[in-house]
Amino acid sequence: MATALLQSSLHSLPLLARGKVRDNYAVGEDRILMIASDRLSAFDVVMGEPIPGKGELLTKMALFWFDRLGHVVPNHLTGEAPESVVAPDEVGQVQGRAMLVKRLKPLPVEAVVRGYLAGSGWKEYQESQSVCGVALPAGLKNASKLPEPIFTPATKAEMGEHDENISFERMAEIVGRELSEKVRDVAIRLYKEAAAYALTKGIIIADTKFEFGLDADGTLTLMDEVLTPDSSRYWPVEGYQEGINPPSYDKQFVRDWLEQATVDGQPWGKKAPAPALPADVIERTASKYREALDRLTR
């Protein structure tokens, strides 16, 4: 495995933005180089230590899903090698961990699909027996499988803010009804196919977030990364039980450790900076990412 990368620093391309995990560079006017670093965020805080191999494994996973789901909707991959657009001394920073994509006009709405009740969905359900305006049957528990996957869009939050769940009606006001219906139908199809496949490999994809954009011809195109544990809730089937919060596939060791970590004798307040992760937590987390890709692709 190549050396871990906490942050890329390309001198040959202009930096567009750094997300929690990825560094994005402009390649001319019409393409973006997305580099998945080995950063890990937990409780919305980026850890100070890299998880070796994570960026590469997540990139492989996203590419696996783009390939598998290519018949449902076009995606942003150009098929060109990331190594071809950086300087020779920068190849090590992109090899195996980058995607060279078409620069699209992003829709300002995230396409969330939920097959199970979890997180903000479970919270909302307990208050209103619905999620994002979608009415649900009574009697569901935490982590219950829904009768049918539901589409629950969210607006993209500004840096540092949390995304906001919105109703389908609200989405239709923002991007138009026809496009909203198309996004909903495509997102549900993508989720159903992926979730059914993952289940045969021992992984429940409880929910996921897709992002779409329009290309120069106005064609709806799948973008960003897809169906990795960064954008989806992966649950191992072994730990699944209705009524209890299933462990996260990849982040559980880190979350458990952070929950009991102390800073100056006080529990860590879940605000940056995070306490330094111990080596065994890093290694166990890294091995979960390896295991997830192994399971999906074996």
Ligand X SMILES: Nc1ncnc2c1ncn2[C@@H]1O[C@H](COP(=O)(O)OP(=O)(O)OP(=O)(O)O)[C@@H](O)[C@H]1O
Q: Does 40 bind ligand X (CB under 6 A)?
A: no
Angle at 256 between CA 252 and CA 160, to 5 degrees: 75
Q: Does 55 bind ligand X (CB under 6 A)?
A: no
Instruction: Determine which residue in the list 48, 96, 106, 247 makes contact with ligand X, applying CB under 6 A.
Output: 106
Q: What secondary structure letter does DSSP report for 75?
A: B
Choices 3-11, 13-21, 192-200, 275-283 (CB under 6 A): range interacting with ligand X: 13-21
What angle in degrees, to the nearest 10, is found between the helix axes of 279-297 and 54-68?
A: 20
Choices 102-110, 139-147, 249-257, 270-278 (CB under 6 A): range interacting with ligand X: 102-110
Beta bridge partners of 35: 23, 98
Minimum separation from the CB atom of position 246 to ligand X (A)? 22
Q: Does 21 bind ligand X (CB under 6 A)?
A: yes
Regarding beta strands 220-223 and 203-214, do their DSSP bridges make them parallel or antiparallel, or are they unpaired? antiparallel
Instruction: Determine which residue in the list 54, 60, 103, 288 makes contact with ligand X, applying CB under 6 A.
Output: 103
Q: Does 239 bind ligand X (CB under 6 A)?
A: no
Choices 21-29, 111-119, 202-210, 243-251 (CB under 6 A): range interacting with ligand X: 21-29
Separation of alpha carbons 261 and 137, rounded Å: 39
Token pair, residue 282, equals 């890093």
Minimum separation from the CB atom of position 225 to ligand X (A)? 7
User: Which runs of E-coded beta strand occur in the chain?
Assistant: 15-18, 22-27, 31-36, 41-42, 45-46, 98-102, 105-106, 109-116, 130-131, 134-135, 145-151, 154-155, 164-165, 203-214, 220-223, 232-236, 262-263, 266-267
Separation of alpha carbons 258 and 241, rounded Å: 24
Sign of the C-alpha dihedral computed for residues 107, 74, 120 and 19 taken in this order: negative
Question: Could you tell me how many residues of this chain bind ligand X (CB under 6 A)?
Answer: 17
Pick between residue 97 and residue 146 the one whose CB is nearest to ligand X: 97
Instruction: Determine which residue in the list 35, 101, 132, 296 makes contact with ligand X, applying CB under 6 A.
Output: 101
Choices 96-104, 139-147, 185-193, 252-260 (CB under 6 A): range interacting with ligand X: 96-104
One-letter amino acid of 200: T
Token pair, residue 8, equals 């890329």
Minimum separation from the CB atom of position 102 to ligand X (A)? 6
Choices 7-15, 95-103, 126-134, 284-292 (CB under 6 A): range interacting with ligand X: 95-103
Q: Which residues contribute to the site for ligand X (CB under 6 A)?
A: 17, 19-22, 24, 32, 76, 101-104, 106, 211, 213, 223-224
